[in-house]
Structure 1
Amino acid sequence: MGRKKTYTVSGVILILLGIAIASYPVLGYYFSTYAKSPHAVLKPGNNFVYAGYLTGGNLGLVIYNITYVGNNRFRVKFDLYNITGRNVTVIYFTGITNPGKIIGNPKLILDKTLILNESDPLIKTLFPKDSVTVYALNHSKTTKLTIRTIPFSSDFSPNSIGFPYIYGPDLPGPLVKYADKVAYYRATDSYFARTLEVIGPNAPLRYPSMVDGMPTHVPIGVTPEQLDLPELIPQKLISKEGWNYIESSYPTVTILGLLRTNVQPAYQDWMGALKYSFVQYSAPVDYILILMGIVLLILTGRFV
């Protein structure tokens, strides 16, 4: 009976240990970060920092440091850097414990601070309520945001923003792939941008295909105007630095991404995270422990 009890207890412990290892990333994130963090955009002091590269002529780096100050107003500190010939890398990793960072020594050439309200194009683009406007050439489409299912419906970042659902523009199938990098997280009161594929005016194709009023085979995203670039960057600086993009008077930002924030997305895929952890993140350690536990429980049947 002593050996049977030992096998039974050991088997149960191994199974529970396997389950605990797979569950730890989810439970650890929930109790260490999610439960202690704000989940709303419109709360005074909440901060969002976005970074993106300027292209067209010289290469630059833009930083939007945005803080909600109350009364439907946002303080936007805009920094512009020249990184031509410099080894500068932006690591997009959001969160409290592992914030995004910039490696290198970019040269600051412009900083500007504005107070913007919710109706400003930049604020509406970064923090939409339920819909976004995407552009392709001279066409635009306003559409609702829906949970993105292809290729992934959520992120898996237990050290930063957890396992939030990813939302994208609700576009027809043939258009979805062209707006792949227009993605958002959802807070309790609105969405906030995860990444934005920022597309400036481009030379139109001779024979573009049209789907649901939008051309295909061309980049789809947001415009410089939506990011307030005409207001933030003086024209004389653009001319001096040689920034212009084909037919545009303003440079184009490519892949504007969330660098860091103190806000944790409210809508998290908890069950999906547990499943992913079991089959990918913690595997095969959890599988081995659970299998060993099952084997020990089966062996207890030999000690009747």
Structure 2
Amino acid sequence: MGRKKTYTVSGIILILLGIAIASYPVVEYYVSTYAQSPHAVLKPGNNFVYGGYLHDGHRSTLLLIYNVTYVGNGKFRVTFSISNTSNSNVTIFYFQSLENSGKIIGNPKLISEKMLILNEDDPLIKTLFPRDSISVYALNHSKTTELTVRTIPFSSDFSPNSIGFPYIYVPDLPKPLVKYADKVAYYRATDSYFSRTLEVIGPNSPLQYPSIVEGMPTHVPIGVTPEQLDLPKLVPEKLVSKAGWNYIESSYPTITFLGLIKTNVQPAYQDWLGALKYSFTQYSAPVDYILILMGVVLLILAGRSVQ
């Protein structure tokens, strides 16, 4: 084999290897997970588990779990549990995490558990799985708003071990609030959206470093209300009385975060092009860069070689 042919073949192999390394996470996720999984919310057996922390006002942190399964005919089975974490170090690894996704580490002590069958017009179901719009608490009042793709920063979670490279959808709020809108975010299934993260806002949530931009406050609470998550319906009366909560007077605790832990549904709308770009520039870099650059150099040498 002549020098020119050796340079040419070696250069092409290195370039293809660089491209393959960068493309592997996307291709592997599509073949092994995406193509094998359901993409609709309303399919019997499809399951969504949400977890979050609730501060009860007495320096205690409670763990909340919503285990939601679609059972057909517009009905959802919701198993809601509350656990005490005060004597154990409990950590939730949310579904969008690259590692340990879908895990709760620690030994929470179960306080209560309740199971309900809810239909599609229940506030919890409409909040977790909206069709086109979501009601959020923003600018000190409730607003029903459309969901739009978050494009900046890169919209994908880039988690090939869990949900791939989905577009993230956020409430369509005024510009001064856009940077905070990812506190309420969704993935999109073929028939509706499903919640990624939710921040629950109590009426006494304080403003943080209030400032004015374009005539509107930028540091205001953005999220959903406890009523939208059926907290008054799901939390036992004994626990409400013991903790001194009062939903009528709005003196209830605030969930600082509620996020998707696991589901068998893969988001239908994926940013495949963005995922490839991110993989080339961030995930597999600089290995792919080096291989491709070496391949280009060899092809240049091949072009200058006689034989």
TM-score, normalization: structure 1? Answer: 0.92
Aligned to 2:4: 4
- Percent of residue pairs bearing the same amino acid type: 80
Residue 235 of structure 1, CA deviation: 2.9
In structure 1, give the amino acid aligned to 2:39: H
Aligned to 2:22: 22
Helix, strand or coil at the partner of 1:175: helix
1:161 equivalenced with 2:163 (yes/no)? yes
Equivalent position to 1:65, from 57, 64, 67? 67
**Segments of 4+ in structure 1 off by > 6 A?**
208-215
Contact 2:200 2:224 in 1 (8 A): yes
Once the two structures are superposed, the pairs formed by residues 1-304 of structure 1 within 5 Å of their partners are 2-57=2-57, 58-94=60-96, 99-136=101-138, 139-202=141-204, 216-241=218-243, 248-304=250-306
Stretches of structure 2 that go unaligned for 5 or more consecutive residues are none
In structure 2, give the amino acid aligned to 1:122: L
Distance 1:282 1:199 in 2: 39
Residue 214 of structure 1, CA deviation: 8.3
The farther-off stretch of 149-158 and 117-126 is 149-158
Contact 1:95 1:264 in 2 (8 A): no
Residue 139 of structure 1, CA deviation: 1.2
Helix, strand or coil at the partner of 1:26: helix
Tell me the matched-pair count.
301
In structure 2, give the amino acid aligned to 1:281: Y
Residue 210 of structure 1, CA deviation: 9.4
In structure 2, give the amino acid aligned to 1:186: R
Contact 1:165 1:268 in 2 (8 A): yes
Residue 32 of structure 1, CA deviation: 0.6
Residue 99 of structure 1, CA deviation: 3.7
Deviation string 1:33-85 (CA, Å, 9 cap, x unpaired) is 00000000000000000001011322101000000000011000001001124
Distance 1:232 1:212, change over 3 A: farther
Distance 1:272 1:137 in 2: 32
Distance 1:85 1:96, change over 3 A: closer
Deviation string 1:194-217 (CA, Å, 9 cap, x unpaired) is 000111111687xx8899998653
Contact 1:244 1:251 in 2 (8 A): no
The farther-off stretch of 81-90 and 256-265 is 81-90
Distance 1:287 1:251 in 2: 50
Distance 1:211 1:141, change over 3 A: farther
Helix, strand or coil at the partner of 2:204: coil
